[in-house]
Amino acid sequence: MLIGVPAEIKTLESRIGMTPGAVREAVSSGHAVMVQKDGGLKIGLTNEDYSKAGAKIVETAEEIFAKAEMIVKVKEPQPNECAMLREGQLLFTYLHLAPDPQQTEALLKSGCVAIAYETVTSPRGGLPLLAPMSEVAGRMSIQAGAHCLEMRQGGEGVLLGGVPGVPAANVVVLGGGVVGINAARMAMGMGANVTVLDNSLARLGELDGLYGPQLKTIYSSVDTVDEYVTQADLVIGAVLIPGAAAPKLVNTDHLKKMKNGSVVVDVAIDQGGCFETSRATTHLEPTFNVDGVVHYCVANMPGGVARTSTFALNNATMPFTLALANKGYKQALKDNPYLAEGLNVHCGKLTNEAVARDLGKSYVPVTEVLAA
């Protein structure tokens, strides 16, 4: 199979879909790989590195989209990239379609076959291709939140861990999944008072067993969200419903009760965000203020540590990329029902139920399109 790896073009996005090591694995399996010139240069992956791994270096994304059978990316295709996709072409990347009707329509119109990293599952019910970036984003959320609490950034001037004689900040994490636990670990490590809210008693029990009294675990309800969010210095939105839009757990009434200069970091922004007032921002202009509360809503947070993120992502995606190339997507999806969960768009049809429900569209089950 001819695999194409274009440079990412989202604002300040320096990750790349395949590392030289991943290219070498694909080439050794008999595939050809095209990489856009300087696509990995910003994170120290040179054209020479890719050439030595067996890739062909090409000048433009247009050539890659025109020739490659499978496109491997990191972020969702931007409008001009969607326009270059063709019927039957395989796209393997993050998509986050539920809050993005424009991208969904463009992918349906293109006739491509789009497999989303974020909806591929595992036998244990996890999200193996989302987890690496969730780990990064969870850890970054505390760094970003601590910075935003500084006066110069519009924050209330609180040091996350406090100092002797002065209390530490109160950090509330909404959601005890991969993002949430990584955020909680970072915040605890910095000395903050940390509370995790989740509606799974089993998950709260696991976290209590791991961290004991160092981490406060609270069952998430309307009352507890209201109580803990409004008293927090920093709130991390770490809620995820696979494929679907994130629930709006924090509304404008909550914000009005929060302290002036408190901070919210919405890691769920790729799925529409879990704060009613959230809107996607970029690394160039990461924050905005609503009712005195600083909002950090960068939609590609791991892009800020692009080298770490690229290698972490490739460790997870490479076996799936090879399976799709070795077997062809139909056989690969038939052989692996967990990979099949990643199929969101197939030749003009929506194949993810959660996405279809949130966008008010009809969908065709994956089993049906694979059997056709």
Active-site residue numbers?
96, 270
What are φ and ψ of residue 235, in 5° steps?
-120, 130
- Distance between CA 338 and CA 316 in Å, rounded? 14
Neighbours of 55 (CB within 10 A): 25
C-alpha triplet 364, 321, 121: angle, nearest 5°: 50
Q: In this structure, is the dihedral angle defined by the CA atoms of residues 183, 149, 218 and 164, taken in order, positive or negative?
A: positive
Give the up-direction half-sphere exposure of residue 350: CA atoms within 13 A in the CB hemisphere. Answer: 21
> Whole-angstrom distance between the N-terminal and C-terminal Cα of the chain?
22
What are φ and ψ of residue 289, in 5° steps?
-120, 130
Neighbours of 221 (CB within 10 A): 11
Q: What would the DSSP string read from start to end of 328-344?
A: -HHHHHHH-HHHHTTEE
What proportions of the chain, in percent to the nearest 5, are helix, strand and coil? 45, 20, 40
